[in-house]
């Protein structure tokens, strides 16, 4: 059963013109019958992102993201296929049926949302119960100095030090232990097989998405009985850690010009309490590319308010590189006399912190100071090392005007001539370009060989077969007459014809949809494949679209090539005939010897 009736999906697609839709996210320019723009999914200076109005699709020739309106929304809004349908239905004014349809595999997102909401309410009640939540309330109000208003606003709760408190509540509400486990709300003991609460004796911070759903939790230890300061929800059907941020549901309305990125939830809550409602935090993990892309949709500038210790500074260096990929301006907050934003505000107040934000350093200033503090400039060798390191940093700056400013600043600090530094920077740029071309060449070779292909890893061992399969699937995705020819047996192809599992699965889904009542529709593929896999299917379409000959003879030739490649592969895998005969002869000899012994 599909998530929603196909007529609903088709109605949503028909009302979601892809040029209008993508045009609200990307500045598009007409290029013939198509539209081009800078790709929103990777950093680029020259547009490689193309929108095709004729078949309502998009494709980036740089990062190979591609698909239809549903795929685009899945990527940009961090949603699964069901969420993308609901998002576009609301946007286009299509009413969705409420017949309790569930997702096809495992526990549904809806069930996880329901469990999370019950858990959040239960833990909030525990926090405000003086007999149960005293440890949590003391931690929040006395140790952290948070007002009740902000505690209520963030829905903060307390998980009691009880192995079965939440599981008992969820069972009463009709949830099974396996569902709770999938939602990361309980664990199952390997010894007894009993369920136990995953969060115990912890202040609980609900993670809420931009539509108001409780998608996960972050639990801060308050009893000191656990050496883990924080326990965060693992990935569930409703939550992916690498693609979400704590408090973005609040900050998204206050961060158009500037956003503050912290390391911990307490820092974020403290900042919001002090009036800085543009603060967010990553969820128990280092900053990811996906999180950076999400933030780039909401703000122009990110202030990194990481801890002032060595680990925090290393994380800041890494984050600058990630944000550079998505074109975000980054500034670094350097706190003297405090470890983190929460401590700084408590010591010096909100106004001092505001001045700190205003005077935050640019990424280059931060790197410059970092290099200078690591080298003793009074020693010639150390000064040379510092100059080489800084020239390397400057060489990776895209703007030539910006490079000139940095060369001038470094020349002043190192007491060196600008001309000599400029020559070193130009040399580093040439080396970077050469290394980049070598890497691109290597990537192209590996791609041609199917190596490092995450979507279809079997390509490397079956290059000829995989190439034929790609040609077949590209033709089937584009042309109804080819799908009909396969369905009626005019072209002899079945799922058993395919060598690689991914392509076999794609073929099966295409033909299953083709033989259904409404026939094949690309918009329905999102229910079966990830956004990365949808990008691959878009690439296969584009590869065939670029060719002039896509007739039945091409399909037949590809099918014949695939059959030959599969036969060759099977022969290579099978032991030679003479080896089989030798094995059989050996067995006969042993059987005869055993018979003689008897």
- The predicted-structure confidence for 397-426, as pLDDT tens digits, reads as follows 767 887 888 889 889 889 999 999 999 888
For every one of its 598 residues, what pLDDT tens digit does the chain have, with 9 covering 90 and above?
A: 457 888 888 889 888 999 999 998 888 999 888 999 999 888 777 899 999 988 889 999 888 899 999 999 988 887 888 889 989 998 888 888 764 444 434 577 889 999 999 999 999 999 999 999 999 999 999 999 999 999 999 999 999 999 999 999 999 999 999 999 999 999 998 888 899 999 999 999 999 988 889 999 999 999 777 778 888 998 888 888 888 899 999 999 898 889 999 988 999 999 999 999 999 998 866 888 878 878 887 888 999 998 877 788 788 888 887 887 777 888 988 888 899 999 999 999 999 999 999 988 887 888 888 888 889 988 999 999 989 988 888 887 767 887 888 889 889 889 999 999 999 888 888 887 777 666 555 544 544 444 457 788 888 778 888 889 999 999 999 898 999 999 999 999 999 999 999 999 999 999 999 888 778 888 889 888 988 899 999 999 988 888 888 888 889 999 999 998 888 766 555 444 444 455 455 555 555 555 555 4
Query: pLDDT tens digits, residue range 192-242?
Result: 889 999 999 999 999 998 888 999 999 999 977 777 888 899 888 888 888
pLDDT value of residue 103: 45
Q: How far is CA 219 from CA 143, 201, 222, 233, 400, in A?
A: 16, 9, 9, 9, 47
| Distance separating alpha carbons of residues 197 and 161, to the nearest angstrom | 9
Nearest residue to 9 (alpha-carbon basis) of 103, 109, 108, 87: 87
Q: Can you give the residue ranges of every domain in the chain?
A: 6-92, 109-239, 248-366, 375-447, 457-573
| Distance separating alpha carbons of residues 161 and 129, to the nearest angstrom | 14
pLDDT value of residue 245: 92
| Distance separating alpha carbons of residues 179 and 107, to the nearest angstrom | 6
Please answer whether residues 51 and 60 qualify as being in contact, where contact means their C-beta atoms are separated by less than 8 angstroms: no
State percent of the chain over pLDDT 70. Answer: 90
Q: What is the CATH number of domain 109-239?
A: 3.90.980.10
Q: What is the CATH number of domain 248-366?
A: 3.40.1360.10
Q: What is the CATH number of domain 457-573?
A: 1.10.860
pLDDT value of residue 572: 56
236 forms beta bridges with: 239
User: Is the overall model pTM greater than 0.85, yes or no?
Assistant: no
Residue 97 per-residue DSSP state: P
pLDDT value of residue 449: 45
Phi then psi dihedrals of residue 66, to 5 deg: -170, 170
Fold of 6-92: DNA Primase; Chain A (3.90.580)
pLDDT value of residue 589: 58
Mean pLDDT for the chain overall: 85
Q: Kindly tell me the sign of the dihedral angle through the C-alpha atoms of 231, 237, 242, 243.
A: negative
Nearest residue to 342 (alpha-carbon basis) of 260, 266, 263, 283: 266
Determine the Cα angle at 80 with ends 538 and 58, to 5°.
Answer: 25
Please answer whether residues 3 and 101 qualify as being in contact, where contact means their C-beta atoms are separated by less than 8 angstroms: yes
Nearest residue to 59 (alpha-carbon basis) of 544, 537, 547: 537
| Distance separating alpha carbons of residues 484 and 481, to the nearest angstrom | 5
DSSP H stretches of helix in 359-417 = 363-374, 380-395, 400-414
pLDDT value of residue 128: 97
The torsion angle over the Cα atoms of residues 543, 544, 549 and 550, rounded to 10 degrees, is: 160
Phi then psi dihedrals of residue 31, to 5 deg: -135, 90
């Amino acid at each position: 059963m599909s998530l929603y009736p196909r007529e609903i999906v088709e109605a949503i697609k028909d009302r979601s013109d892809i040029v209008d839709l993508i045009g609200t996210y990307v500045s598009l320019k007409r290029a013939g019958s198509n539209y081009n723009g800078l790709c929103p999914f990777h950093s680029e200076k020259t547009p490689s992102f193309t929108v095709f109005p004729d078949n309502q699709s998009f494709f980036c020739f740089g990062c190979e993201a591609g698909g239809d309106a549903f795929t685009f929304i899945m990527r940009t809004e961090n949603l699964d296929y069901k969420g993308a349908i609901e998002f576009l239905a609301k946007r286009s004014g299509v009413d969705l049926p409420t017949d309790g349809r569930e997702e096809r595999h495992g526990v549904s997102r809806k069930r996880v949302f329901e469990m999370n909401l019950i858990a959040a309410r239960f833990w909030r009640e525990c926090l405000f119960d003086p007999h149960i939540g005293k440890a949590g309330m003391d931690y929040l109000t006395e140790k952290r100095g948070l007002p009740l208003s902000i505690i209520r606003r963030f829905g903060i709760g307390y998980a009691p030090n009880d192995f079965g408190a939440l599981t008992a509540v969820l069972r009463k509400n009709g949830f099974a232990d396996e569902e709770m486990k999938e939602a990361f709300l309980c664990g199952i003991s390997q010894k007894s097989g009993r369920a136990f609460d995953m969060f115990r004796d912890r202040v609980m911070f609900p993670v809420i998405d931009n539509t108001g759903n409780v998608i996960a939790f972050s639990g801060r230890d308050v009893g000191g009985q656990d050496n883990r300061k924080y326990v965060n929800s693992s990935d569930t059907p409703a939550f992916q850690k690498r693609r979400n941020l704590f408090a973005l549901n609040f900050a998204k309305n206050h961060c158009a010009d500037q956003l503050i990125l912290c390391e911990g939830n307490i820092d974020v809550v403290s900042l919001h309490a002090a009036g800085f409602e543009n603060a967010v935090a990553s969820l128990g993990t280092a900053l990811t590319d996906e999180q950076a892309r999400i933030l780039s949709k909401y703000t122009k500038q990110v202030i990194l308010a990481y801890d002032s210790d060595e680990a925090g500074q290393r994380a800041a260096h890494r984050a600058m590189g990630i944000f550079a990929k998505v074109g975000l301006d980054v500034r670094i907050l350097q706190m003297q006399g405090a470890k983190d934003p929460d401590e700084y505000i408590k010591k010096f107040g909100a106004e001092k912190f505001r001045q700190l934000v205003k005077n935050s350093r640019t990424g280059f200033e931060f790197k410059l100071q970092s290099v200078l503090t690591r080298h003793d400039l009074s020693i010639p060798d150390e000064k040379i090392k510092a100059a080489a390191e800084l020239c390397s940093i400057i060489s990776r700056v895209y703007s030539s005007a910006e490079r000139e400013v940095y060369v001038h600043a470094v020349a002043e600090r190192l007491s060196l001539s600008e001309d000599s530094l400029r020559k070193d920077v130009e040399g580093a740029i040439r080396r970077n370009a050469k290394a980049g071309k070598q890497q691109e060449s290597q990537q192209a070779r590996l791609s041609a060989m199917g190596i490092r292909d995450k979507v279809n890893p079997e390509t490397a061992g079956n290059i000829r077969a995989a190439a034929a399969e790609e040609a077949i699937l590209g033709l089937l995705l584009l042309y109804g007459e080819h799908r009909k020819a396969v369905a009626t047996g005019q072209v002899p192809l079945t799922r058993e014809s395919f060598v690689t599992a991914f392509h076999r699965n794609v073929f099966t889904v295409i033909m299953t949809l083709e033989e259904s009542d409404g026939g094949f529709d690309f918009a329905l593929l999102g229910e079966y494949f990830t956004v990365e896999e949808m990008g691959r299917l878009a690439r296969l379409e584009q590869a065939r679209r670029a060719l002039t000959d896509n007739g039945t003879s091409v399909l037949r030739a590809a099918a014949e090539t695939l059959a030959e490649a599969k036969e060759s592969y099977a022969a290579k895998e099978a032991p030679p005939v003479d080896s089989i005969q030798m094995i059989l002869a050996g067995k006969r000899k042993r059987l005869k010897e055993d018979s003689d012994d008897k």
